[in-house]
Amino acid sequence: MSSRQSESRNSVFTRILCLYGLYTLQANVSFLIGYYLLPEGFMRGSHLGAIAEFVAAPESFWPKLGRTLLMNIGIVTVLCVLLNLMKVKDFYLGYVLPTFLGITSGLVLGTNSFAVDDLSRYSVREGLALGLSIGEVEMLGYILVIAATVRLGIYQRQSWRRWSDKFLKVMDFRDIRLSRQEVVLLAVGVLLVVFGAYRETVMAMNL
């Protein structure tokens, strides 16, 4: 293995560890804020709550799975890639998404703001198992997609402060070269998101 390949691999896994660590820290802090400082169901009237209700509305398996995949793959996963097309200096905008998802998921969990279920019906172990096999699997999938596609940075601006600055094209699509590790992680990330959506749908059908 060449030094360049080794550096690329190490960089990819460093991105994953940093992004997942940041997400976990923010999710835990947001959970505590939601649990101790906000009323139960606080997020149900928000735009995120409306989206969750839309996804959960179908009563049969395949329409429910279709809506879940539309949200998780067609919107969130695609957004992970599209944000990575842009960077400010050397900061890829895809890195912002785990922060947003960490804060919102922590608040939803801390305030028990789920659209179709109530955490009180689960034991601590059952709730933890469901969370790890659905939400955390999907989140890890998103992070793998983000970490694998940071080299897509086609548009760049040099300042956070000067809002008049425009994103300038710094490379062409044909110049993008993902490493083998990045391609594999991208595929695994998408598969994890699909698996999480399947688990989420199965759980919803068993309510």
**CA–CA distance, 48 with 109 (Å, rounded to integer):** 13
Which tens digits make up the pLDDT trace of 34-54? 999 999 988 887 888 788 888
Question: Would you state the structure tokens that stand for residue 191, as one six-digit string?
Answer: 């598969």
Between vectors from CA 188 to CA 186 and to CA 194, what angle results, nearest 5°? 105
**CA–CA distance, 179 with 185 (Å, rounded to integer):** 10
Which tens digits make up the pLDDT trace of 193-206? 999 999 999 888 87
Tell me: pLDDT of 7 over 50. no
Prediction pTM value = 0.89
pLDDT of res. 126: 85
Give the residue numbers spanning the domain of 157: 3-205
Tell me: pLDDT of 184 over 60. yes
**CA–CA distance, 173 with 119 (Å, rounded to integer):** 46
Residue 149's closest CA among 78, 207, 58?
78
Domain total in the chain: 1
